[in-house]
Chain A
Amino acid sequence: MIRRLGVITATLVALGVVATGDRPPRRIVSLVPAATEMLFAMGAGPRVIAVSSFDEASPAVRALPKVGALFDPDLERILSLRPDLVVVYATQNDLRQQLSSARVPMFEYRHGGLKEVFRTMRALGTSVGSRAEAERLAGDLERRLEEIKRGVGGRRRPKTLLVFGREPLSLRNIYASGGVGFLHDMLELAGATNIFADVKRESVQATTETILARAPEVIIELRYAAPLTAQQIAAERATWDALASLPAVRQRRVHLLVGNEFVVPGPRIADATLRLARTLHPKAAGGRSNRNAPPFN
C-alpha cells in the first residue's frame, strides 16, 4: 500500500503535477489586481478563487468573490475560503502575521518600477507552479516593450508632463509622475522626457509655477475611474488653455487617455506603453499593433 502511494507520488512528481515537496496551489486568493491579471495571463486563472475589491479586468474576474484590498482585507472570508496561497501586499503586516499564524502560504507583492513588475511575474509563476507560462508571458512582454523602444528610438524625446490626478475642470491639486515607478519607466520607454524625472518619488504634487517653468511640450493625462463623454474630454483638455505659454498648449498636444491599464502594472503594461508611444510619436510605427487597439484622444 505504502509502496503503491510512493510510486503514484513519484509519477506525479515526474509529470510535474506536484512540485517537489509541495503541490502547486489550487485555491489562490489575490488581493493585488496586478497579480490577479498576471495569474490569469499565465493560465492560472481557473485556480483563483477570490480577488480584491478593485479587480475588474475581465468578466471571469468580476464574477469571483471579493475579499477586500490593501487597507481592508477581510481575514475571516479569506480563511473561510481555505486558500492554499494568498497574494498579499508586502506592506500588509497585520494580515501577513495573521495568515502566517493560520499557516496559510503567501506570496508577497512589492510595488515598484517595470523591473519589479517582471521580477514579480516570474516569481509568481514559480510559486504557483506555472514557471514556464510565466516565463513565456514575461518574455513576450519584454519583447513588445523592446519593439516599442526601438520604434521610437532616434526620435526627439518631447518634454512631457504625465498627470494622473487633478480637480475636475480646474488646474488645482495636480498630481504628476515623478522619476520613480512603472508609469515613469513606461513614459521614458515610450520616448518621452519626464519633466519631473529629477523628483525621486512616484507622485509629485506640482505647483502651477513649476509646470510653467518646466514648459512641457506634451501633456498626457490619465483617467481611469468614470468613463468620460467626448464633451467632457474636450472641456478637461480646454482647462489647460489657462497656461497659454506652455508649448503643449500652443501646439495642441494635451491628451487625455482613458483606461485602467495605466494603473495596473500587470500584463497590460505593453498595451499601455504602446498607447503612450503612439500619443507621443503619432508618426512612428510604435511596435507590433495590439489586437484591439484602443482609440486615441
Chain B
Amino acid sequence: MAGAPAGSEARLSALVSVRRRQIVALGLGGSALATAVLLAPLVGSTSISLGRVFDSTVPFADNLDAQIFFIARLPRVLSASLVGAALAASGVVFQALLRNPLADPFTLGISSGAALGVILTLTFGLSLGLAGVPAVSMASFAGSAGAVAIVYSLATVRRRGLSSNVLLLAGVTLNAFFSALILFVQYLSDFAETFRTVRWLMGNLDVASYTPIVVAAPLVGLAFFAFAWLPRALNLLTFGAESAATRGIDVLRIERLAFFSASLATGASVALGGPVGFVGIIVPHFVRLLAGTDHRVVLPASALVGGAFLIICDLGARTLLAPQELPVGIITAVLGGPFFLWLLVTKR
C-alpha cells in the first residue's frame, strides 16, 4: 500500500538530484567556457591594447591591434570552442552508442576518411574552393561523409537496426584501411605534401577568417539540436538495446539519430580544425568522474568543458613556441593525458 507513493517519492528525489547536478555541472562548465571565450582573445604573443582594438576612429585596415584581435585571435577562440564542444559531445554519444568507454569521435573512421580526402587534395593539388570554403575543408568533409556512409551500410546490411559490434569492427577496419591508403598516397607524393598532411593530422585552429566557422557552425548546431533528444534514451541504452526497448524506446530510431548527429558534428569539426585528438575521449570521462554518468548531465556539460579545454590548449598552441605555432593536437594530449591520469588515480 505504501509502495507506490514511496517509489514515486524516490523517483522524484532522484529527479531533483539530477536537476541539481545538472545545474551545478552546467553552471560550472558554462562559466568555464564563458571565461575562456572572454579572456583567451586578450592573451597572445603580441601585446595589444583593447582601447585601440575598439577605437572606431582608425579604419580597420590601418588598425593593427584590431586586426590581431579580430583576425588572428577571435576566429581561433571561436573555432576552438566549436571544435572542442562538438568533439567532446560526439565522444559522449559514440561511447553510449557503441557501449564502449574507449570509443571516441574518430573510432568509426570519420577522421581517417577526412584525412584521405585531404591528402588526395594536397597531393593532386586540387585547389577548388567553393564560396570561400577552402578545398582542404571540403575534401575533409567529403571524406568523413564517405566513411560514415560505408560504416552505416556495413552495419545495417545484414539485419534491421544498427549492430554496435558490427559498427565498431567495421569502423576499426575502415580506419586501418584508410590509413593504409593514406600511407600509400604519401609514399607516392612529395616530402612537402607528406609533411603538410602529417601536420594537418595534428590539428590547427588558426583559421584566419570567419568563413569556415560560419560554414561549420550551422552543421554543429544541427547536430546539437539532435543531441537534445538523446540523453534519456542513451541512459537506457547503456543497459542494452532489449532493456531499452522494453522501456518504450524506439531503439533503431535513437541509434540512427545518435550515429548521424554525432558523425555530422565530428565531420564538421574535423573539416574546421583537423582531427584534434584526445578531446573526444578525455573530456567525457573527466566530466563523468566529476558529475556521474547520467547523460542529461554528461552530454551538455562535456560540450561546455570541451570548448573551454580546447580554447586553453589552443592558447598554448599559439603562445608557447611563439613566433612559431605548436600543433594543438600535441598540447591536448600532453596537457590532458597526465591530468586525466591524476584524476583517475585520486578520484576513485
Q: Which residues of A contact B (CB under 8 A)?
A: 54, 70, 72, 164-165, 167-173, 196, 198-199, 201, 204-210, 212-215, 225-226, 232, 242-245, 250
Contact = CB atoms under 8 A, between A and B. Distances in A.
Interface stretch (B55-63, B107-115, B142-150, B218-226): B55-63
B17 interface: no
A243 B67 contact: yes
B71 A208 contact: yes
B35 interface: no
A214 B323 contact: yes
Contacts of A72: 187
Contact of B204 (A172, A214, A232, A245): A172
A198 B193 CA distance: 26
A207 B206 contact: yes
B208 A169 contact: no
B78 to A, nearest CB: 14
Contacts of A173: 196, 199-200, 204, 206
Given A209-B46, A213-B45, A226-B125, A245 B67 contact: yes
16 contacts: A54-B190, A167-B135, A172-B134, A172-B208, A205-B325, A206-B323, A207-B318, A207-B322, A208-B208, A209-B45, A209-B73, A209-B322, A213-B64, A225-B125, A243-B208, A244-B67
B137 to A, nearest CB: 8
B188 to A, nearest CB: 10
Which secondary structure dominates chain A's binding surface? loop
A243 B323 contact: no
A89 to B, nearest CB: 12
B25 to A, nearest CB: 34
A77 B190 CA distance: 21
B44 interface: yes
Contacts of B200: 173
B105 to A, nearest CB: 21
B322 A210 contact: yes
A147 B298 CA distance: 69
A207 B325 contact: yes
B4 interface: no
Contacts of A226: 125
Interface of B: 44-46, 60-64, 67-68, 71-73, 122, 125-127, 129, 134-136, 187, 190-193, 196, 199-200, 204, 206-209, 318, 322-325
A182 to B, nearest CB: 16
Contacts of A198: 323
A209 B204 CA distance: 14
A225 B325 contact: no
Max chain B C-beta neighbours (<10 A), residue from A198, A205, A214:
A205
Contacts of A212: 46, 64, 67-68, 71-72
A250 B190 contact: no
Contacts of B45: 207, 209-210, 213
Nearest to B68: A212
A171 B200 CA distance: 14
A70 B191 contact: yes
Contacts of B63: 245
Contact of B127 (A169, A196, A204): A169
A174 to B, nearest CB: 8
Given A167-B136, A169-B129, A214-B323, A209 B196 contact: no
A209 B72 contact: yes
A170 B68 contact: no
A242 B209 contact: yes
B213 to A, nearest CB: 13
A232 B125 CA distance: 12
B67 A232 contact: no
Max chain B C-beta neighbours (<10 A), residue from A196, A201, A207:
A207
Contact of A169 (B64, B135, B190, B325): B135
A199 B72 CA distance: 20
Contacts of B67: 212, 243-245
A168 B204 contact: no
